[in-house]
Homo-oligomer: A and B are copies of this chain.
Amino acid sequence: MNAEKDNAKGMTVNYVADIYTGFPDKFGIPRQSGIVPELTGRIVFRPEYRDPEALRAIEGFSHLWVLFDFSLSHRDNWSPTVRPPRLGGNARVGVFASRSPFRPNHIGLSCVKLIRVEHTSDEGDVLIVGGVDMVSGTPVIDIKPYLPISDRRDDAVGGYSDDRAGYRLEVVLPPDADKKLPEELVKGLAGCIAEDPRPSYQEDPERVYGMEFEGFEVRFKVAGGTATVTEIERNQEAELDV
């Protein structure tokens, strides 16, 4: 039985959609989905999968799973261990005990909130989702509904991830932040920085970090447990890029 299957080494996957978010680059993106609910994304189906029937009854679900290609994290090899940033970047854990993008099959799994289905004339039915943690333009492999009966595990214990679950930076924004960005985006930006995007907990209070977010170039410093945003400027280059 299953002789054919046992011989197979793998399978081919086709992208069904792309997700567009406020992040042209990896730096600054929360390391898990759902952490910053204000971060929204648009899931646009590729033409061959763009059929409103394929979404029938999806609006009854509050949350969706997005399976995607960690397209900026391809490597020729995989390492059996990775160093989760949340462990300070030094402790090693097994790749199958982590959600690192650097894994034998670079597939990501994120749970997002379904905000609404947007009917468009040029892109068909688009899913507007919240709590994203993907780079803009990430190819999507599958969308599945979140089923509370099997996916919500009230007794789940999260290993080393639980130890730092409450860790956050305090974020100080410039006084005019809400004049530059709509309220939701200010919240989203502050949420990203509170997650401490620094690699390996660098501790240099003078160092200026830059991230791109929703067409803005943002700069901040971190001293102790406080991140101070020093600049929010519209990114001219990003606009020309579109």
Contact = CB atoms under 8 A, between A and B. Distances in A.
Interface string A90-101: 001111111100
A35 interface: yes
Contacts of A60: 97, 157-160
Kindly report how many copies of this chain are found in the complex they form together.
Answer: 2
Contact of A12 (B10, B67, B92, B143): B10
Contacts of A179: none
Contacts of A153: 34, 62-63, 111, 146, 148, 151-152
A6 interface: yes
Scoring A1, A15, A159 by chain B CB atoms within 10 A of each residue's CB, the highest score goes to A159
A95 B58 CA distance: 9
Contact of A15 (B9, B12, B15, B241): B9
Contacts of A201: none
Interface of A: 1-2, 5-6, 8-16, 18, 24, 32-35, 49, 51, 53-63, 65, 67, 69, 71, 80-81, 92-99, 103-107, 109-111, 137, 139, 141-162, 165, 241
Contacts of A94: 53-58
Contacts of A33: 150
B10 A10 contact: no
Contacts of A241: 1
A9 B2 contact: no
A13 to B, nearest CB: 5
Nearest to A30: B150
Nearest to A93: B57
Contact of A32 (B11, B150, B160): B150
A165 B137 CA distance: 36
Given A35-B149, A147-B158, 8 more contacts: A10-B13, A13-B13, A14-B105, A34-B153, A56-B80, A148-B165, A149-B165, A151-B156
A238 B150 CA distance: 30
A101 to B, nearest CB: 11
